[in-house]
A = this chain, B = another copy of it.
Amino acid sequence: MNNFQSYQKQRAKLVEKNLSKYIKKIKNAPKILTDSMDYSLQAGGKRVRPILLMATAEAFGKKATDVLPAACAVEMLHTYSLIHDDLPSMDNDDLRRGRPTNHKVFGEDLSLLAGDALLTYVFEVFAQNGNVKNIGAQNTLTALANFANCAGAAGMVGGQVADVYAEGMGTQEAHSTRADKIRKHSKLLADKSLRYFMLPPYTAETTPETILNYIHANKTGALIRGSVETGALLAGAKGSDLKHIKTYANNIGLVFQIVDDILDVTASAKQLGKSNSDKANGKLTFVSLYGLEGSRKHAQLLIANAQKALAKLKNVKKKNLWPLYEMAEFFKTRTY
Contacts and interface: CB of A to CB of B under 8 A. Distances in A.
Interface in A103-155: 104-110, 112-113, 115-117, 119-121, 123-124, 127-128, 130, 137-138, 140-141, 144-145, 148-149, 151-155
B32 A197 contact: yes
Contacts of A184: 107
Contact of A120 (B33, B113, B128, B148): B148
| A interface residue count range (under 10 / 10 to 19 / 20 to 34 / 35 or more) | 35 or more
A31 B196 contact: yes
A34 interface: yes
Contact of A116 (B26, B119, B145, B198): B119
Q: How many copies does the complex hold?
A: 2
Given A109-B90, A123-B123, A157-B113, A31 B200 contact: yes
Given A112-B90, A197-B32, A200-B27, A123 B105 contact: no
Given A124-B152, A137-B141, A148-B120, A113 B161 contact: yes
A311 to B, nearest CB: 29
B87 A158 contact: no
11 contacts: A28-B158, A30-B197, A30-B198, A88-B89, A105-B189, A110-B164, A117-B152, A121-B153, A123-B144, A137-B141, A144-B144
Q: Which 3 A-B pairs have the closest CB atoms?
A: A124-B148, A120-B152, A127-B145
